[in-house]
Amino acid sequence: MEKIGFIQGTFDMFHIGHLNLIRNAKNVCDYLIVGINTDELVEKYKQKTPVVPLKERMEIVSAIKYVDKVVVTKDRDKVKLHEKYKFNYLIMGDDWKNTEFYDKVEKELNELGVKIIYFPYTKSTSSTKLQKTIDILLKEKED
């Protein structure tokens, strides 16, 4: 049986943590689908607007050799996404592990035969840290 993996994320200000997650995901599956969250979805659950527009984020992720397919995701409902893309592995960063949201997701997907795989979160770099650094530099420039 073909191992189909699915990752969903914003992938804003693409960095090494994103690449590590995608590379590790491809190592456990034959076919990797990456869902890129719309700006509206990100605004809804993170209360912030991505810096890089959706089309550009999709183009960047599409260019990565480990990625077989890129799709737009407008929803965080993993059961709906599973129905649409038929993946048997959901791959996440371990920063989401043991959260209320993903505990529920794990239970729902396990019942459908989907395995959840968590990979280590790259603590040294994140889009949030990059944005904070940019904000500090812009503020210093203004002063």
Return the pLDDT at 132.
67
CA–CA separation, 86 and 82 (whole Å): 5
Judge whether residue 137 has pLDDT over 90.
no
Half-sphere exposure (Cβ direction) of 109: Cα atoms closer than 13 Å? 25
Q: Of 19-33, 48-62, 79-93, 120-134, where does mean pLDDT reach its minimum?
A: 120-134
The torsion of the CA quartet 75, 78, 82, 83, rounded to 10 degrees, works out to -60
Report, in angstroms and rounded to the nearest whole number, the Rg of the chain calculated over CA atoms.
16
Query: What pTM did the predictor assign?
Result: 0.85
Return the pLDDT at 97.
83
Going by pLDDT thresholds of 50, 70 and 90, the confidence category of residue 133 is: low
Judge whether residue 134 has pLDDT over 70.
no
CA–CA separation, 85 and 29 (whole Å): 14
> What's the mean pLDDT in 115-140?
70
Residue ranges in the chain assigned as alpha helix (H)? 16-28, 39-46, 54-62, 78-85, 100-111, 127-142
Return the pLDDT at 126.
59
Percentage above 70 pLDDT, the chain: 86
